[in-house]
Chain A
Amino acid sequence: MAMGVNTLAYYFKETARYLVRNSWLSLAAIGTITVSLLILGVSILLVTNTNKIALDLEQKLEIRVFLKQNLSLSQVEQLEKRINFVSGVARVSFVSKEKALADLRKGLGERKDILAGMKKNPLPDAFQVKMERSEQIAGAAAQISSLPGVEQVLYGQDTVEKLLLVTRWVRIAGIIIIGALILAALFLISSIIRLSVFARRQEISIMKVLGATNWFIRTPFLLEGVTLGFLGSFVAVVILYFSYWSFVQQISTFVPFIPLVADQRLLFNLFGGLVGLGLVIGIAGSFFSVRKYLKV
């Protein structure tokens, strides 16, 4: 059936009428959707940011392998080969004690005089080992430390593990809370639609006798759900947008070394996704009620 302008006008009129009639319940549904999508958005931002910080740290992270003194050149080469064989190792580079000392001098800057009294270079030769993934660091470090010729192995284990743990917990807690809230939103929307169907039962029975198609009868109810979903997610996105930007600005002013996600496109996708999810919740909630309570 071709949809006339008249039919469209009818749909919008009906939808608006019943949203207003059930205004308190409608507000409750919008609020629930807003809160659930807000929490979803916050946890997604939290996870992406912790991931970004972890990634940033990981790139800086490396295993430092200090060698025993007095190894022969062939022993050093042998050890480099064996480290290269450890699974997950991305790159191994040799740092001679001379270079280490030079680096130290450079690092000390104007206070390099401290080193002036030294007759002998106290620093050991070392390898810098980069891993493909940060989870592999602990295992690889243990393996390397058992290789012959290795004096000591150091890496920033604690920091990485803590970050990964945070990311994991945020993810799990987020999924549980969001799941519960989305269920609540679905339930509220389907209750609203059920009330709407009930309030209009006389009209619906007359419409059926008059020969209205099933879709004609259903559409205002579906639109009602979609509108609730849209309003709820829109409010969530607006709140999220402004509060996240002010947060990013605060952080970049006061703690500039923390790298936050500020990629416009990524955020745009996130906000678009949230609105999309709101619409899906709206449609799903109303479709459920329309199927169950609207025997057409």
Chain B
Amino acid sequence: MVHFYHVSKVYQNGVKALKDVTMHISKGDFLFLVGPSGAGKTTLTKLLLREELPTKGQVIFCGKNVARLKPQEIPLLRRKIGVVFQDFRLLPKKTVYENVAFALEVIGGSGQIIKKRVPEALELVGLADKQKMFPSQLSGGEQQRAGIARAIVNRPLLLITDEPTGNLDPKTSWELIYLLQEINRLGTTIIMATHAWDIVNTLKKRVVALSGGQMVRDEKRGVYGYGG
């Protein structure tokens, strides 16, 4: 579903974020993206969302070269990809329900679809009873669940999570991982950039390690580490 062919990215300020990365992600994968800060994990997700263009090489998503999309096709690409942020990025003046509904509103979803899907998503992440609360009234873990509900309510093919447990305590982190696994079982492909070595080591999923912009490891049932 996702293919990176010899992808390099040099930013305008000269920083070489990715060097000749080639990797393939199949539908249904659960992939950990590990590596130190500045290794290129975020750049990889930005290339997928076409927030940045590769300097060299090709990024293919669902059979389409992401760099060659017309401007009006970019929103359609992004609708197939859900994103969960480390800092949640919920809108503080909207309730949990409104935050999740927002994802459907901005793509022109009808009232019927919103009324059906938002409660489903909130049920799945376990926030059905807190839908009328504002983000500030929720714990970190609950806020991240709301973020996940917002990312999956549009039923994306791919879910990118950038250090989703970075701001959470260990117990809450594990609850979140179980939730992501559940979503993965329902058919959504997941890329999770993370520093949480204990989670990676316990789950024994596919691990792609980046270091200094280069892919140093790609193991089917890997453990944490990017030493090469």
Q: List chain A positions with a Cβ less than 8 A from chain B.
A: 1-7, 10, 202-203, 205-214, 216
Contacts and interface: CB of A to CB of B under 8 A. Distances in A.
Contact of A211 (B71, B106, B110): B106
Contacts of B76: 211
Contacts of B105: 6-7, 10
- Interface size band for B: 20 to 34
A14 to B, nearest CB: 10
Q: Which of A10, A203, A208, A210 has the most CB of B within 10 A?
A: A210
Q: Which of A6, A10, A209 has the most CB of B within 10 A?
A: A209
B91 A211 contact: no
Q: At the interface, is chain B mostly helix, strand, loop or mixed?
A: helix
Given A202-B89, A206-B91, A213-B75, A4 B108 contact: yes
B108 A7 contact: yes
B144 interface: no
B6 interface: no
B91 A203 contact: yes
A210 B108 contact: no
A10 B108 CA distance: 9
26 contacts: A2-B108, A4-B108, A4-B109, A6-B105, A6-B108, A6-B109, A7-B105, A10-B105, A202-B89, A205-B89, A208-B78, A209-B49, A209-B83, A210-B78, A210-B79, A210-B106, A210-B107, A211-B76, A211-B78, A211-B79, A211-B154, A212-B75, A214-B71, A214-B72, A214-B75, A216-B106
Interface in B114-161: 114, 150, 154
B110 A4 contact: yes
Top 10 A-B pairs, shortest CB-CB distance: A211-B79, A211-B78, A212-B106, A211-B75, A213-B75, A207-B106, A210-B103, A7-B108, A209-B83, A6-B111
Q: Which of A2, A3, A6 has the most CB of B within 10 A?
A: A6
B14 to A, nearest CB: 22
Contacts of A202: 89, 91
A212 B110 contact: no
B108 A216 contact: yes
A68 to B, nearest CB: 85
B154 A210 contact: yes
B226 interface: no
Given A202-B91, A206-B89, A211 B107 contact: yes
Nearest to B49: A209
A52 to B, nearest CB: 53
A5 B114 CA distance: 13
Q: Which of B49, B71, B76, B106 has the most CB of A within 10 A?
A: B106
Contacts of B61: none
A38 B89 CA distance: 46
B102 interface: yes
Contacts of A211: 75-80, 106-107, 154
Q: Which of B77, B111, B114 has the most CB of A within 10 A?
A: B111
Contacts of B83: 209
Interface string B17-46: 000000000000000000000000000000
Contacts of B80: 211
A15 B77 CA distance: 27
A211 B80 CA distance: 8
Nearest to A200: B91
Contacts of A208: 78
A210 B102 contact: yes
Nearest to B76: A211
Contacts of A5: 111
A208 B89 CA distance: 13
A5 to B, nearest CB: 7
B109 to A, nearest CB: 7
Contacts of B91: 202-203, 206
